[in-house]
């Protein structure tokens, strides 16, 4: 598995909630939970851009996609509540998501670029080049 695949797995199958919070902190884009057909609760977290598209580690989509790439029902989430819901997870995972989100966004000079090119450029960005802002949501 290469680094790009590792990032995609990390933020679709495991820490998508932390990645969506980090993207929210950096861009202000609201967080949405994606509820798959037949489920009652969100199983994947994404962000909604000002132009109405959805964004996760895989890039932009016109539809809210779950971790398996299937369309789901989006529900608006509060960043502070998402953090509270997953407070049992290690703090290091949130710190890593913040760093990865900043690097992915920084490496995609044009945010309309496909995620694949953003992720491919990820390796060229250096953590010292990025300043992650403090948490923007009130607790």
Close Cβ partners of 139 (under 8 Å, ≥ 6 residues apart): 80
What does the block give as tokens for 83? 């953090």
Question: For residue 100, with 0-12 CB atoms within 10 Å meaning exposed, 13-18 middle and 19 or more buried, which class applies?
Answer: buried
Nearest to 9 by CA among 100, 123, 103, 117: 100
Per-residue confidence (pLDDT) for residue 5, from 0 to 100: 78
The secondary structure of residue 128, as a DSSP letter, is: G
pLDDT of residue 4 exceeding 90, the answer is no
- Residue with more model confidence, 16 or 135: 16
CA pair distance 19, 29, nearest whole angstrom: 12
CB-CB contact of 115 with 124 (8 Å): no
Question: CA quadruple 75, 102, 118, 27: dihedral positive or negative?
Answer: positive
Instruction: Please name the residue that has the structure tokens 């962000």.
Output: 47
CA pair distance 93, 106, nearest whole angstrom: 20
**Predicted confidence band of residue 116 (pLDDT cuts 50, 70, 90):** very low
Per-residue confidence (pLDDT) for residue 132, from 0 to 100: 32
Task: Provide the whole-model pTM.
Answer: 0.77
């Amino acid at each position: 598995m290469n680094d790009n695949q590792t990032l995609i797995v990390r933020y679709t199958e495991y820490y998508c909630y932390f990645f969506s919070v980090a993207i929210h902190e950096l861009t202000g884009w609201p967080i949405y939970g994606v509820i798959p057909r037949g489920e009652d609760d969100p199983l994947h977290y994404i962000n909604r851009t000002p132009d109405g598209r959805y964004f996760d580690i895989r890039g932009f989509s016109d539809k809210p996609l779950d971790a398996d790439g299937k369309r789901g029902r989006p529900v608006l989430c509060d960043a502070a509540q998402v953090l509270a819901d997953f407070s049992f997870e290690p703090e290091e995972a949130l710190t890593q998501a913040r760093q990865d989100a900043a690097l992915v966004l920084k490496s995609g000079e044009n945010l309309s670029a496909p995620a694949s090119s953003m992720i491919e450029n990820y390796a060229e960005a250096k953590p010292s080049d990025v300043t992650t802002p403090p948490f923007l949501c009130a607790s």
